[in-house]
Amino acid sequence: MNKPFRGLLALCSLVIFFSTSLSAQKTVQGLDDFLKNIQANSKLPGFAVAVVKKDAILFSKAYGYADKKKKTPYTPETIQPVGSVSKTFIALALMQGVEKGWFTMETPVNDILPFKVINPNFPTEPIRIKHLVTHTSGLLDNEVCYSKTYTASKKPSAEMNNFLKGYYTPGGTYYDTANFSHTAPGKKYVYSNIASALAAYIVEIKAKVSFPAYCATNIFNPLRMTDSHWLYDESKAGKYATLYEVNRQEQAIYKDLVNSDGSVKNYSCVTYPDGSLKTSLNDLTKYLGAMIKGYSGEGVLLTKPSYDKLFMKQFTPQNMPATMDPREPNRAVFWSYNRKGRIGHTGSDIGIAAFISFDPVTKTGRVVMINTELEGMDNITVIEAFVNLMKGLDNFEAGK
C-alpha cells in the first residue's frame, strides 16, 4: 500500500475563492451560508462542523447527506468513524493509567506485554511507551500485512492481541523483519498505526478489561458521549452515515470494500483502536471541550499535572528525531502541534476524514467530520472544498 490509511493528510496549496466576504464568515449566519455554499458546490456527500470554547459551543451544524440514495441528511447526531482522531483517546487512557500507577511513559513495553517486542536490528534497545505515543518506536506498518487487517465485515477478523503477537514475535503469522526500522527507538519519526494499537493493548492488559469497555467506563460515560463506541453497534445502525469514495483509489483493498456506486461497505479493522472510533459531532464536541478545559487546568478526567504531561511537547531542538514533518514540528502524547501552534489530530480512513484541534492561546477549537476520504486520485475538487471550509473556520474563530 502506497500510503497509510490513517496517516496525516498531505494537503496541497490552492488558490482559494470565497463566495461570501471574510467579515460575513465571522458571524454564525455568515459561516452557515458559507458552508452551505461549499456543500452545494462540492463533491462532499456530507459533513459536520463545530466550533467550541470550553463549555460554550459557538457553532454546530451539519450539511449534505448521511445517505445520498435515501436523502438522509447528515446531522450533528450522525455517527461515523473518525480515523486517527481515535489515537487521542488512547492517549487519554494511557495518562489515566499513569495516574493509576500502572506504568510511566518511560516504562519498557516488554515490562508489561505477555510477549516480547524486540527490534531485531537493535535487540538490546528497549522500546518504551513514550516511543509508541510519539511514533518513534521503530515499529513500522508493513503495508502488505496492514491491508489484511481490513475486512468487509462488522467485526474484526481476528482478536487484536493475537494479531499483535503474530506481528511482532518471531515465528508469528505476520512476523517480518520489514515490521521494524533500521533506526534505534527514539531516533526517527515514522507514523505507525499498529504500534498505536499496541499502546491500547497495554491499557487493556493493565485494566484487565477490553479497550472498548475501559473507554466506555472511564471516558465516554463521564463525558456523556452516548453515541461513541469502537465496534459496530447494531442498536446504533440507524444513525450511521453511509461512507463514500468520491476520489479514484488505486489500492487493491478498495475493490473489496467499495461498491460500484462509490458507497463503502461496512468494514472493520483488527487494530481498531488506531482509527475505528465511531462517534457523532455532538459527542466529539463534548470531548474536545473537555480537552480544552483540561489544558486550561479545569479538566475532570485527569489531574492538572497529567493534562500538562498529555499536551507537553515531547521534543526539543536537542532531541528532535529525524524526519519530523515540518507541518507538524512537535508531538505531545499522540496529539500533534502544527506549525501555527494549534494542538490537534487528523483522521483519514476508507470513506472518511476527520479533524480536531484547538488554539492553546484562545482556547477555541474545532471539529470537522466528513463521510468521504480526501486522499486519492483526481481529488483536487474535494481538497479545494476542504481548504475553503477550514479557511472559513479560521475566519470565524478569528472573530471570536
| Cα–Cα distance list, 96 to 91, 102, 115 (Å) | 9, 9, 23
Q: Which residues pair with 139 in a beta bridge?
A: 180
Residue 1 lies in a domain: no
- Which string of b and e fits 196-214 if b means at least 16 CB within 10 Å? bbbbbbbbbbbbeeebbeb
Q: Cell digits for 148?
A: 489484511
DSSP state of 219: I
Cα angle 211, 217, 219 (rounded to 5 degrees) comes to 85
Q: In this predicted structure, what is the pLDDT of residue 24?
A: 67
Residue 17 lies in a domain: no
Residue 2 lies in a domain: no
Give the residue ranges of the chain where pLDDT is below 50: 1-19
Is-above-0.85 flag for pTM?
yes
Give the residue numbers spanning the domain of 120.
Answer: 24-398
Q: In this predicted structure, what is the pLDDT of residue 256?
A: 94
Please write down the HEC assignment for all residues of 87-146.
Answer: HHHHHHHHHHHHHCCCCCCCCEHHHCCCCCCCCCCCCCCCCEHHHHHCCCCCECCCHHHH
Which among 214, 263, 236 has a CA at the least distance from the CA of 68? 263
Cα 276 from Cα 151, distance rounded (Å): 13
Determine contact, residues 64/246, Cβ cutoff 8 Å: no
Q: In this predicted structure, what is the pLDDT of residue 23?
A: 65
Residue 3 lies in a domain: no
Cβ of 244: how many Cβ atoms within 10 Å? 26
Q: In this predicted structure, what is the pLDDT of residue 350?
A: 97
Q: How many structural domains are present in the chain?
A: 1
Q: In this predicted structure, what is the pLDDT of residue 55?
A: 79
Cα 293 from Cα 310, distance rounded (Å): 13
Determine contact, residues 362/341, Cβ cutoff 8 Å: no
Q: In this predicted structure, what is the pLDDT of residue 7?
A: 39
Residue 357 lies in a domain: yes
| Cα–Cα distance list, 385 to 5, 34, 256, 304, 343 (Å) | 21, 11, 28, 38, 23
Helix (H) or strand (E) holding 33: helix 28-40
Q: In this predicted structure, what is the pLDDT of residue 25?
A: 79
Cα 191 from Cα 172, distance rounded (Å): 23
Residue 339 lies in a domain: yes
Strand order in the sheet with 46-53: 72-73, 56-67, 46-53, 364-370, 352-359, 343-349, 336-337, 330-331
Residue 112 lies in a domain: yes
Q: In this predicted structure, what is the pLDDT of residue 297?
A: 96
- 233-279 pLDDT, tens per residue? 999 999 999 999 999 998 999 999 999 999 999 999 999 999 999 99
Backbone φ and ψ for 228, nearest 5 degrees, come out as -105, 135
Residue 87 lies in a domain: yes
- Strand duo 72-73 + 150-151: pairing: unpaired
3-state secondary structure of 378: coil
| Cα–Cα distance list, 366 to 209, 339, 343, 390 (Å) | 32, 17, 11, 10
Q: Specify the CATH number for the domain of residue 236.
A: 3.40.710.10
